[in-house]
Amino acid sequence: PMWTNGEVEILAWACVLDSIRPNMVVRIAVVSIYGGRKGELAQLSSSDICLDGDKSSIYISTTKHGVRRKQPIPPSLTPLFSVPVSPI
């Protein structure tokens, strides 16, 4: 990853404090942690997110025919992923 989990958490919470829509904060977290492409972020929805404590994960669709894999969500960021997310 480009940033540590702690740095991503600081960035994400700063975004919340600056009144960015919560579903966009989720997209910022996804691109910061997993490096998703614009088209992949646009397709993201709540059905792609599984919140289960330390086993929380996210499926990110691929736009270049890659393999869609379950990615872990860092426990410190799980609250950010609890907001409703719809494709844009």
Would the pLDDT of 52 be above 80? yes
Task: Determine the average pLDDT of the residues in 43-68.
Answer: 88
Task: Determine the average pLDDT of the residues in 62-70.
Answer: 79
Task: Give the residue among 17, 32, 9 at the shortest CA–CA distance from 80.
Answer: 9
Percent of the chain with pLDDT over 90: 26
- Please tell me the number of Cα atoms within 13 Å of 58 on its side-chain side: 27
Q: What is the pLDDT of residue 1?
A: 60
Q: Which residue has the higher pLDDT, 76 or 18?
A: 76
The secondary structure element, H or E, covering residue 71 is: strand 70-72
Instruction: Give the separation between CA 88 and CA 85, rounded to whole angstroms.
Output: 9
Would the pLDDT of 21 be above 90? no
Q: Could you count the other beta carbons within 10 Å of the beta carbon of residue 71?
A: 15
